[in-house]
Chains A and B, each alone.
Chain A
């Protein structure tokens, strides 16, 4: 945790580089990224396709490792953690919302939402209470027994949001969460996320180029060609 100031910051990146190997060619996705993302905010990472938004989210979400630099997430220097420790860290602290929903197709809506709680070993009664409450919060209590293939795109994304939030993580990462939805559904999803974020005081970090999402942002981080070009606080803390 060297080099970080003790402030209410949920994510700190210090001179982070990330290079991918694409065949014989090395592609530098991120270059010397240094940033701090404040806690309990609705932060948005914007940029064109291929600018490095998803790579940045992957590093923050601890599903990828930097080639260089330090990353602190929720006060933990995640670069030093073993694979199992990193996995357990994600299970406790990080929720993901994906562009293509990524629900487990053989599990019902209820079971999909309950899944993260099983991973942290929560007792059955508490698990059931939280799962039902979360389904209620996203307005899908009636669809609890349905499988993902029986749900609409918007309903799937609501289930994905419920799944990401049910364990009450410190961070929720959402990569283009509205890209596969029509604008009306997208707007309702953003509204929902904004509401649950405000209620849960969870830090939301989005990667998007959807103007609807940007319109709700508290913090905006702009990336171009792997470099952080701008950090703007839109709404005061």
Chain B
């Protein structure tokens, strides 16, 4: 075996120019594959991190909510959600896995701003959550690729009347200047958004009066506190079907990539959302978000949650973040498909490069093959000899490509390039996660070496099948 490697290595060195060209082709293949894989890894981990920071790994719903709840979220509320959360956090199997557990309330309704200089309303999609839990969830960064989010002071556990709205919704409701938003010009004079003193003012006073009646003293206190914040009114149907109104002090705006969501999104305190949806009835939530320390714990945590709910006869179901966001799976499939295509192209290039080189080697060494066959070298050893050479060239090329990919990946990360991914409105750092995924390097390396070995098999078989006398006669 030692002699095989010795002869293979020396022949590679002897034909160094040819070997180098072949190794370069393999190296280029490895480089392209690893850099693209590093890029897709960054996309995958970035998406995953974003979803996990927002919704957690797992979300507990009342059974049926996932399929039918969007039409009437309030009807699928989880009663005694605090008891359910206690059950989860006190479970010895789940306790070490969970980073954050937090209740959330989804709701829809109409947001309106009928202040002195604006008259606008818009249906909204809202979510009520605990601000401190949101801050903790946004710190999750298993892969070390996420932006660092400081606690968001615009929301506070202590002030349930504060909320954030999408920049599009802020524009529609005429809150750009009040929120200090740029690229958000006020509506032109004479547009329907500007009140003409009359019917709009009448609607304004109706909704405001309803809000005052519903909120009573609490609203007055909040209004006093929010003298610096613009205020909007939110109208929704309660779980019983009655109309309900609350006032929201808009403490800031969020840029959301999808326009339809940006024009409608509201984040508010859980208490305010519950007040709007349940009124004075029993307070429930639509979901309990469970964020784990690590994604690899997801399957175990999900299985345990299901077992726990079954054991306690709770009519609850568990969904993971990938199920809740089909876009995540679509992106994974799209980029995986592109990666497969690139890998196939690179594999073909490597295959032809190695076949070409090894065929030339066999032709040049035909007489040598005849000589050593005459001396008593079996066909299988001849075959092995050329496969070892192909494998060595493949290993050299793949190693060079892997080293270059790591260096280029590190340089790219170091220079701090940014890009705007689909679904985002702001640029984020572009990172190539190559070294962070050692198994990826190992797999690409082994894959290319395997292709080189398969490619070498073709000329190696030809060499092994040569008749000794014909090989000896070859000049």
Contact with B along A109-120 (1 / 0, CB 8 A): 001000110111
Minimum CB–CB distance from A116 to chain B (whole Å) comes to: 6
Determine whether the beta carbon of B377 is less than 8 Å from that of A87: yes
CB-CB contacts below 8 Å: A91-120 with B: 91-92, 94, 96, 98, 100, 102, 104-107, 111, 115-116, 118-120
Binds B, one of A58-66, A195-203, A228-236: A58-66
A191 at the interface (CB under 8 A from B): no
B6 / chain A contacts, CB cutoff of 8 Å: 107, 111
Interchain CA distance A61-B372 in the complex, whole Å? 13
**Closest B residue by C-beta to A61:** B374
From B374, B467, B468, B469, residue with most partner A Cβ within 10 Å: B374
Measured in the bound complex, the distance between the Cα atoms of B370 and A91 in whole Å is 13
- Quote the shortest CB–CB distance from B235 to chain A (angstroms): 86
A105, B374: Cα distance in complex, Å: 16
Is A107 a contact of B377 with CB atoms below 8 Å? no
Question: B145 near A: Cβ within 8 Å?
Answer: no
Q: A100 CA to B373 CA in the complex, in Å?
A: 16
A7 within 8 A of B: no
Measured between beta carbons, the chain B residues less than 8 angstroms from A120 are 376
Q: How far is the CA of A91 from the CA of B373 in the complex (A)?
A: 9
Contacting pair A100 B367 (CB below 8 A): yes
Chain B, interface size category, equals: 20 to 34
Neighbouring B residues of A96 by C-beta, 8 Å:
371, 374-375
Q: Is A126's beta carbon under 8 Å from chain B?
A: no
- Inter-chain CA distance A118–B6, complex, in Å, is 13
Complex alpha-carbon distance, A104 and B368, angstroms = 6
* Shortest beta-carbon distance from A222 to chain B in Å: 22
What's the Cα separation between A58 and B376 when bound, in Å?
14
* Contact present for B379 and A83 (CB under 8 Å): yes
Known: A63-B469, A87-B378. A102 touches B10 (CB 8 A): no
Q: Is the CB of B14 within 8 A of A105?
A: yes
Known A105-B14, A106-B7, A107-B7; judge A116-B374 contact (CB<8 A).
no
A111–B9 Cα distance when bound, in Å, is 15
Given known contacts A63-B468, A106-B7, A106-B14, A115 and B372 CB-to-CB distance under 8 angstroms: yes
- Chain A-chain B contacts (Cβ-Cβ < 8 Å), number: 66
Query: Restricting to B1-33, which residues have a CB under 8 Å from any CB of A?
Result: 3, 6-7, 10-11, 14
With known contacts A102-B367, A107-B7, A91–B379 Cβ distance under 8 A = no
- Judge whether A152 is part of the interface by a CB distance below 8 angstroms: no
State in angstroms the CA–CA spacing of A90 and B373 once bound together.
9
Q: Please tell me if A84 contacts chain B, counting CB pairs below 8 Å.
A: yes
Q: Which residues of A are found within 8 Å of B428, using beta-carbon distances?
A: none
In this complex, what residue of B is CB-closest to A164? B375
CB contacts (< 8 Å) of A88 on chain B: these are: 376, 378
B254: Cβ under 8 A from any A Cβ: no
Instruction: Please determine whether A116 and B367 come into contact, CB atoms closer than 8 angstroms.
Output: no
- A116 and B378 in contact, given A102-B368, A104-B368, A106-B7 (Cβ under 8 angstroms): no
Distance A111 CA – B11 CA, assembled complex (angstroms): 15
Interface centre among A96, A98, A104 (most CB of B within 10 A): A104
Q: Evaluate contact between B376 and A63: CB separation under 8 angstroms.
A: no
Q: Is the CB of A116 within 8 A of B376?
A: yes
11 extra interchain contacts, Cβ-Cβ under 8 A, other than A58-B468, A106-B10?
Answer: A61-B374, A63-B472, A88-B378, A91-B375, A96-B371, A96-B374, A105-B368, A107-B6, A107-B10, A115-B372, A116-B375
A interface, CB within 8 angstroms of B: 58, 61, 63-64, 83-84, 87-88, 90-92, 94, 96, 98, 100, 102, 104-107, 111, 115-116, 118-120, 163
| Nearest 3 interchain pairs by C-beta | A91-B376, A106-B10, A63-B468
Would you mind naming 8 contact pairs between A and B with Cβ atoms under 8 Å apart? A61-B374, A64-B469, A88-B378, A90-B376, A100-B367, A102-B371, A107-B6, A116-B375
